[in-house]
Structure 1
Amino acid sequence: MKWLRRLSITARITIGSLIVATLFGLVAVEVVRLGVAAILHNATVTLLDNDVAAPAAALKNNPAGPFDLPGGGQELAIVGPGNVMLASTLPEALEDRVSRLVALGDDPKTVQVGDEEYLVLVREVETSAGTIHVIAARNSETTNLILDRLTGALLVGAGILVVGFGAASWLLARTALRPVSRMREQAERIADVSSTGLLPVGPARDELAELATTLNDLIRRLRASADRERQMVSDASHELRTPLAVLRGQLELAELDVGDPDALLTDIRASHATALRLGRLANNLLALSRIEAGPSSGRTDWRTLTDELADAIDRARLIASRSSDDDAHQISIDFDYTPRGRSTADLVVALSPTDVGRILDNLLGNAIRAITEAQEAGAEDAATPEGKAHDGEAHDGEAHDAAADAEGWVTAELTTTATTVVLTVRDSGPGMPEEFIPVALDRFTRAEASRTGHSGGGLGLAIVGALAGSAGGSVALANGDGGATGLVVTVVLPLVGAETGADE
């Protein structure tokens, strides 16, 4: 059967149709032949009954004869007691077997004599002279000839029908698969990387149209994935170029300061810090690539959400304590959570606890860095009217255009609605330029004032947006207090199964 697999679908459909049609034709021919044979047999039996009826009636009145047997091809015989032939128009071959014929009984029987075949009917007649048998026979040659010619005609007709059915099957298969050929030709054309075409979808809403629609969706996803990969490589090469150049310069300085231990130590520490930033950037790139590869498969319930929130607040407080140089620049970090009045077992989001913690760490860390850098800017540039834009990646690109209060604050609140869990992070930092907010979730985006920034490379909010999107949620950014100060980040995560009535 290996040769069959090498054939085209059209050829296989045609061959299969021919086989089915041939079997169907042979069965039909045999059924018709058997039906006609039964009709002819019944007709012959009826004729035999008519042949013996008149002689049998005459024998009852006149058993001694004379016996007037009809002619015209009717083969009759009257056999008296002791198998004595009283009268006969039977062929000699049947007359020689009269004793056997008498013993056949009342049912019609087929008798083969040489090449001839006869249907014989024997009727017993009780008379005053004893039991007399009337024998009638009909040659089956005519019946067999009719059956043979009918069978030949049926076979010829069935053959013509099979050939016509095969041709029709081939044409129908070619016509039905023509969209597949067009899809293949279009697929060869769109294989070009620069192509933006899609597979043709026919007007009929059939299986091929559904296949084309599914493949077009796959092509779109593959193109989007390829575009993301190309953009990721382009962005990574662009973002890594500067820190690598800085690291190379720091190593060259370390080589020049080999005779000065203090300067050498300073260069080594600076190189180490740059290497750490490169490592964080690479880890963030890998994390973002994994997130964008597909939807999240994790699950986190309400209790785990609150635990992750508490752990993230502890980590943020530790970072804030290390970032503050004195008590005047302390950062207060608080949190709150408020579940709705229902079973918390229903409150499940489509994110793993690790991903939830990553969202919290990025948002809280961004807020702390924004406040810390604003405090440093306020302390260093208090005498400068216009202030100085500082570097860093606060809020992944936030421009610091105002000094913060001496004491900053960050709050994180976890609430629920009928179908969502809402995380809101607010801070007292300087906020974001309004024109920058629409692109703040893009990779490697930073406000113009922080282009010289370092560390995360503008991936923190991009990771938050990608994680929320993988769970079917969204992220919204807005400046607090009418845009004067602070940033409010709202992460909305849909509840798993909320659309089927989770909210009771």
Structure 2
Amino acid sequence: MRRFRSLPLRSRLAILVAVAVAVAVAAVSTTCWFVVRGKLYDEVDSKLKAAGANAPLPTAEVLLAVRNCSQTPAAQTGYGPKPVFYVQLVQADTDKPCVSPNSAGTVKVESGDRDVARRGNPTLWTFRNGTDTDGHDVRVLTVPTLVQGPDEAVRETALVIAFPLKETEGTLNDLALLLLIVSGIGVVGAGAAGLWVARTGLKPVDRLTEAVEHVARTEDLTVRIPVEGEDEIARLSRSFNSMTAALASSRDRQARLIADAGHELRTPLTSLRTNIELLARSERTGRAIPPADRLALMASVKAQMTELASLIGDLQELSRPDVVDRGPLKVVALHEIAGAALDRARLRGPELTFEAALEPWYVRAEPAALERALVNVLDNAVKFSPPGGTVEVGLHCGELTVRDHGPGIPADELPHVFERFWRSPSARSLPGSGLGLSIVARTVQQSGGEIALRPATGGGTRTVIRLPGAATPPPGS
């Protein structure tokens, strides 16, 4: 079995087809042989029945055989037709038969013949295969009959009539040889046909294998397999093409993320390096930096470090696969989380006015991730609100809205707001990494909700987050 499994697939298919055909041909050939054999034997039995039709009233030839009770047939003179049937009488109390003078030979007596003679039932006709004294196969019919012997006594005897099976067995042997030859040709042909079919049918698999090997060797994800038809191979080819397309897209996104992250990290690192070099040069040359300038440098270093930490945290958040379990989903009060995020936003924009109307709403989400997403949304509203402006926050029937009165987002820029590292030209001078809304969108989608940004009436931006849930907590939560 291990050796068979180690063979190529096309070889295994060819062998399986050949074996299946061999079994089928063997079954059909065997059935055919037995059917023909039964028909031929029926013909021989019909001849024997016709020959034994006079029993249990023996002919004069049979009576003569009993009276003489010769153990061998009369010698043939060469004139007239040669006898075909074996005719003899078997007595119940002896193994020695009384052979008819015109018998074709002598049939070996068996115990079943004497049993038929002993029972004397005229309806009991038995057929069997036997041999004559020369060892030739014959078909034997045994019929019970009653005859008078030389002493005028009625004896229990059985008439044995036999017919040679030489021609019948010759026909069956010829048929067996013919069936064997035809079966052999069929099996060999089936094996060849199976191999051809396997090679033809597995050509798409060969192309798929070559494509996979090419991808593994060159990492070229632009390879596509031509798809023909709607069968399983076509489905496999489509799946492979979809997989390579998804991998290529993922690799492109990864490369773009790395490039964008490198670009975003370069700015704060350059600023940090410049500030630190100024401080180091002051220490090395002994030229003290004025206290006000030194405080400004230290504040700049601290701000850049904070920006770097925030950027690295955002990158770590986005680098986590969507399929990874980010934490247990719990039934949480969205209005309470929104209230906590609102308190943090008030600390970051103390000069702003916050108007909140939060109705109870319970959702299933990861509490920490959801709170961070809401903080990011409110941070954007604080960042773009004018001094002394108002931020309106509302929660009604699972729809959370955050509206600011800032400059708003142009219509041509709205499709890009959730892209990683994308920042509006007007916002590039403000702190931030361009990853906040990407994280918000991802968190909302993982909670089964949706988010949208649209221009607000009268100016500003209106952020709408919809999350599935209920106004009352489920039992047991």
- TM-score category of the 2 structures, normalised to the smaller one: 0.7 to 0.9
CA distance in 2, matches of 1:477, 1:248: 37
After TM superposition, list the pairs within 5 Å mapping 1:395-406 onto structure 2.
Answer: 406=388
Task: Report how far residue 353 of structure 1 moved.
Answer: 3.4
1:160 matched to 2:185? The reply is: yes
1:126 matched to 2:146? The reply is: yes
CA distance in 1, matches of 2:90, 2:443: 108
Identity %: 26
1:487 matched to 2:433? The reply is: no
1:209 matched to 2:209? The reply is: no
After TM superposition, list the pairs within 5 Å mapping 1:321-336 onto structure 2.
Answer: 321=347, 323-324=349-350, 329-336=351-358
1:90–1:265 distance in 2 versus 1, CA, 3 Å: farther
Task: Report how far residue 230 of structure 1 moved.
Answer: 0.6
Question: Which residue number corresponds to residue 243 of structure 1?
Answer: 268
8 Å Cα contact 2:393/2:400 also seen in 1: no
Task: Report how far residue 452 of structure 1 moved.
Answer: 3.1
CA offsets, 1:14-62, max 9 Å, x none? Answer: 1111111112222222222222222222222222222222364344999
8 Å Cα contact 1:313/1:335 also seen in 2: no
Structure 1 stretch displaced more, 52-61 or 39-48: 52-61
Task: Report how far residue 139 of structure 1 moved.
Answer: 2.4
1:488–1:299 distance in 2 versus 1, CA, 3 Å: farther
1:367 matched to 2:387? The reply is: no
Q: CA RMSD in A?
A: 3.6
8 Å Cα contact 1:48/1:137 also seen in 2: yes
1:461 matched to 2:437? The reply is: yes
CA offsets, 1:235-256, max 9 Å, x none? Answer: 0011101111111122222323
Question: Which residue number corresponds to residue 307 of structure 2?
Answer: 277
CA distance in 1, matches of 2:100, 2:301: 135
1:264–1:62 distance in 2 versus 1, CA, 3 Å: closer
8 Å Cα contact 2:421/2:434 also seen in 1: yes
Aligned residue for 1:170, secondary structure, equals helix
Task: Report how far residue 321 of structure 1 moved.
Answer: 2.9
CA distance in 2, matches of 1:2, 1:137: 56
Structure 1 stretch displaced more, 46-55 or 220-229: 46-55
Question: Which residue number corresponds to residue 388 of structure 1?
Answer: none
Question: Which residue number corresponds to residue 107 of structure 1?
Answer: 126
Aligned residue for 1:54, secondary structure, equals coil
* Alignment counterpart, residue 454 of structure 2, candidates 469, 474, 478: 478
Structure 1 stretch displaced more, 102-111 or 204-213: 102-111
After TM superposition, list the pairs within 5 Å mapping 1:407-426 onto structure 2.
Answer: 407-416=389-398, 422-426=399-403
* Alignment counterpart, residue 85 of structure 1, candidates 81, 98, 121: 98
Question: Which residue number corresponds to residue 145 of structure 1?
Answer: 170
After TM superposition, list the pairs within 5 Å mapping 1:6-17 onto structure 2.
Answer: 6-17=6-17
After TM superposition, list the pairs within 5 Å mapping 1:427-438 onto structure 2.
Answer: 427-438=404-415
1:61–1:40 distance in 2 versus 1, CA, 3 Å: closer
CA distance in 1, matches of 2:312, 2:184: 73
* Alignment counterpart, residue 371 of structure 2, candidates 336, 353, 357: 357
1:79–1:283 distance in 2 versus 1, CA, 3 Å: closer
CA distance in 1, matches of 2:242, 2:45: 73
Gapped regions of structure 1 (runs ≥ 5): 376-405, 417-421, 497-504
Q: How many residues align?
A: 437
Task: Report how far residue 136 of structure 1 moved.
Answer: 0.9
1:62–1:25 distance in 2 versus 1, CA, 3 Å: closer
Which letter does structure 2 place at the counterpart of 1:109?
R
CA distance in 2, matches of 1:89, 1:264: 144
Gapped regions of structure 2 (runs ≥ 5): 75-80, 117-124, 471-477
CA distance in 2, matches of 1:75, 1:218: 83
CA distance in 1, matches of 2:255, 2:176: 73
CA distance in 2, matches of 1:199, 1:233: 30
CA offsets, 1:173-192, max 9 Å, x none? Answer: 22222222333445556675
Task: Report how far residue 295 of structure 1 moved.
Answer: 9.2
8 Å Cα contact 2:113/2:158 also seen in 1: yes
8 Å Cα contact 2:264/2:433 also seen in 1: yes
Aligned residue for 1:478, secondary structure, equals strand
CA distance in 1, matches of 2:201, 2:468: 44
Structure 1 stretch displaced more, 144-153 or 460-469: 460-469
1:450 matched to 2:463? The reply is: no
Question: Which residue number corresponds to residue 318 of structure 1?
Answer: 344
CA distance in 2, matches of 1:22, 1:206: 28
Aligned residue for 1:53, secondary structure, equals coil
1:337–1:218 distance in 2 versus 1, CA, 3 Å: farther
8 Å Cα contact 2:413/2:424 also seen in 1: yes
CA offsets, 1:103-137, max 9 Å, x none? Answer: 15241222345642232222222246413432211
Question: Which residue number corresponds to residue 196 of structure 2?
Answer: 171
Misfit runs of 4+, over 6 Å: 64-70, 295-299
CA offsets, 1:448-476, max 9 Å, x none? Answer: 2332333x311111222333445665432
1:98–1:210 distance in 2 versus 1, CA, 3 Å: closer
Task: Report how far residue 153 of structure 1 moved.
Answer: 0.5
1:321–1:160 distance in 2 versus 1, CA, 3 Å: same
8 Å Cα contact 1:201/1:209 also seen in 2: yes
CA distance in 1, matches of 2:360, 2:410: 31
Which letter does structure 1 place at the counterpart of 2:193?
A
1:323–1:79 distance in 2 versus 1, CA, 3 Å: closer
Aligned residue for 1:119, secondary structure, equals strand
Question: Which residue number corresponds to residue 86 of structure 2?
Answer: 75
CA distance in 1, matches of 2:62, 2:221: 107
8 Å Cα contact 1:413/1:425 also seen in 2: no
CA offsets, 1:312-356, max 9 Å, x none? Answer: 3223323423542xxxx24324142376xxxx7xxx66x533332
Task: Report how far residue 298 of structure 1 moved.
Answer: 7.7
Question: Which residue number corresponds to residue 29 of structure 2?
Answer: 29
CA distance in 2, matches of 1:153, 1:487: 92
